């Protein structure tokens, strides 16, 4: 009988782990306090007073809305492209063994394994060589490239857990390939795709390094924030935007977690 379940951790380990988690979370919580501060010019702590007026000011700033809208549009299109490419790649890699399979998984991971600045400058120099002007689509090109990996990772994990005999059973019962995909494969991988899509959306929504090289004059929300960090115009507005960004990225991650959490109960996973 295994006895390691009943034990409790040594006190030192508990404290170290708790401190580590606090270190990870306190700075983010701090953002929420600063969004309400009445102080306009500096980062003084504790806040001299609390107010909600900066939410109204931020609401009426057209530049924030423009940046937000561009970010959402880029993230939506990039996610859609990544969903198609990532799923195709995952389906191919997980089902069959073929020559160059390892190379393909490396190819998918590379855009995120190499530092973002390399992806960024590589794309920029390629655009320059090919005389492609900066546009909405140059941003999407970069984002979709590194979003593929997130969809791919989620989909590959699910494909591996889904039993192949179900697909064979479907075919034996007379369904053609498209029917099998529509009624067997798709429902099984749907939540994994949704989770991958949400993470890809969050990744694109937040990306700044590659975007600075491919955006030209356009501002996504992270570029807007970077600009504010380097040349602050109205600090309280930055505080509010920072808080909103935390909340907006939080929701897809929580949703993705709940969608992939019960992965053990995938149909056919026990066989």
Partner 1 sequence: MTIAALNPSPAPAILPGSGGIRGALSDLFWRRPQLLLLLMLLPPVLWLGIVYIGSLFALLAQSFFSIDEFSGLINREFTLKTYGDLLQAANLDIILRTVTMAALVTLASAVVAFPIAYYAARYARGRWKALFYLGVMLPLWSSYLVKIYAWKLILAKEGILTWLLAKLNLLGLLDAWLSLPVVGGNSLSVSFTGTFIVFVYVWLPFMILPVQAALERVPGNLVEASSDLGASPGQTFRNVLFPLALPGIVAGSIFTFSLTLGDYIIPQIIGTSRLFIGQAVYSQQGTAGNIPLAAAFTVVPIVIMGFYLWGAKRMGAFDAL
Interaction of residue 72 with partner 1, rule CB under 8 A = no
> What is the footprint of partner 1 within residues 77-96 (CB under 8 A)?
81, 84-86, 88-89, 91-92, 96
> What is the footprint of partner 1 within residues 215-244 (CB under 8 A)?
222, 225-226, 229-230, 238, 242
Interaction of residue 199 with partner 1, rule CB under 8 A = yes
C-alpha 180/C-alpha 108 separation (Å) is: 27
- Helix axis angle for 235-261 and 186-206, nearest 10°, is 160
Q: Which residues contact 38 (CB under 8 A, 6 or more apart)?
A: 47, 48, 49, 50, 51
3-state percent helix, strand, coil for the chain, nearest multiple of 5: 75, 0, 25
Q: Dihedrals φ, ψ of 50, to 5°?
A: -120, 140
Of 161 and 211, CB closest to partner 1: 211
Taking the CA of residue 115 as centre, how many other CA atoms within 13 Å lie in the half-sphere pointing to its CB?
A: 3
Choose the binding region for partner 1 from 51-59, 62-70, 159-167, 168-176 (rule: CB under 8 A). Answer: 168-176
Q: For partner 1, what does the binding mask look like between residues 113 and 152, x meaning CB under 8 A? A: xxxxxxx-xxxxxx-xx-----------x--xx--x----
CB of residue 213 vs partner 1: minimum separation in angstroms? 8
CB of residue 160 vs partner 1: minimum separation in angstroms? 15
Instruction: Determine the 3-state secondary structure of 139 from DSSP.
Output: helix
CB of residue 54 vs partner 1: minimum separation in angstroms? 15
Choose the binding region for partner 1 from 28-36, 54-62, 160-168, 189-197 (rule: CB under 8 A). Answer: 28-36
Find the Cα–Cα–Cα–Cα dihedral 65, 70, 73, 78, rounded to 10°: -140
Choose the binding region for partner 1 from 29-37, 62-70, 155-163, 186-194 (rule: CB under 8 A). Answer: 29-37
CB of residue 198 vs partner 1: minimum separation in angstroms? 10
Q: What is the chain's alpha carbon radius of gyration, rounded to the nearest angstrom?
A: 23
């Amino acid at each position: 009988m295994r006895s390691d379940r009943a034990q409790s951790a040594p006190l030192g380990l508990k404290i170290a782990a708790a401190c580590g988690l606090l270190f990870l979370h306190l700075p983010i919580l701090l953002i929420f306090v600063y969004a309400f501060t009445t102080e306009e010019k500096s980062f003084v702590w504790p806040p001299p007073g609390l107010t909600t007026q900066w939410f109204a000011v931020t609401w009426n700033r057209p530049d924030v809305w423009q940046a937000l809208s561009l970010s959402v549009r880029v993230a939506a299109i990039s996610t859609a492209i990544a969903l198609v490419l990532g799923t195709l790649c995952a389906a191919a890699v997980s089902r069959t063994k073929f020559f160059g399979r390892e190379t393909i998984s490396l190819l998918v991971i590379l855009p995120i394994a190499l530092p973002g600045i390399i992806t960024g400058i590589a794309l920029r120099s390629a655009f320059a060589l090919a005389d492609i002007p900066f546009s909405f689509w140059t941003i999407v090109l970069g984002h979709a490239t590194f979003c593929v990996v997130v969809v791919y990772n989620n989909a590959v994990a699910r494909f591996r857990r889904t039993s192949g005999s179900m697909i064979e059973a479907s075919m034996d019962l007379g369904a053609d390939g498209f029917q099998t995909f529509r009624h067997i494969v798709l429902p099984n991988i749907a939540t994994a795709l949704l989770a991958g899509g949400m993470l890809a959306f969050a990744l694109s929504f937040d990306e700044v390094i590659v975007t600075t090289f491919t955006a030209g004059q356009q501002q996504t929300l992270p570029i807007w924030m970077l600009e504010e960090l380097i040349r602050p115009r109205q600090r309280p507005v930055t505080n509010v935007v920072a808080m909103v960004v935390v909340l907006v990225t939080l929701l897809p991650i929580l949703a993705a977690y709940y969608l992939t959490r019960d992965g053990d109960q995938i149909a056919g996973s026990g066989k």
